[in-house]
Amino acid sequence: MFISVAAAVWGIFLYNRLVDMRHEVKRQEENIRRAEVTNAELKNNLYNILDAKNLEPLINKQSLIFDKNPEYAKIADNRQLTTNN
C-alpha cells in the first residue's frame, strides 16, 4: 500500500515537472521568435542607413568626393604583397 501511494505521488511530481518544462519551452520559443524579429528589424535599419542613396547627402554635406572607379595600391610586376617577398 505504501509503495502504491509513493508511486502515485512520484508520478504526480514527474507529471508536474513535465508540464512546467513544456511551458518553459513555449516561453523560450516565443522569446526566440521575438529576438529574431528584433534582429531582422535592426538589420533592416542598418542596411537602410548604409544604403548608397542615403549616403549621398552625407557625402555632399561633408564636401567629400564620390569616386566611381577607385584605384588601390598595387605592386609592380604583379607580385603579391606578403611578408615573405
In DSSP notation, 5-63 reads HHHHHHHHHHHHHHHHHHHHHHHHHHHHHHHHHHHHHHHHHHHHHH-HHHHHHHHHHTT
Domain count, the chain: 1
pLDDT at position 85 is 41
Mean pLDDT calculated for residue range 20-32: 97
Report if residue 19 sits inside a domain: yes
d(CA 38, CA 23): 23
71 against 12, higher pLDDT = 12
Quote the pTM value.
0.54
Mean pLDDT calculated for residue range 68-82: 65
Query: What is the domain range of residue 30?
Result: 2-61
Report if residue 76 sits inside a domain: no
Report if residue 74 sits inside a domain: no
pLDDT at position 83 is 54
d(CA 61, CA 64): 8
Q: Which amino acid is at 84?
A: N
Report if residue 24 sits inside a domain: yes
49 against 45, higher pLDDT = 45
65 against 25, higher pLDDT = 25
45 against 77, higher pLDDT = 45
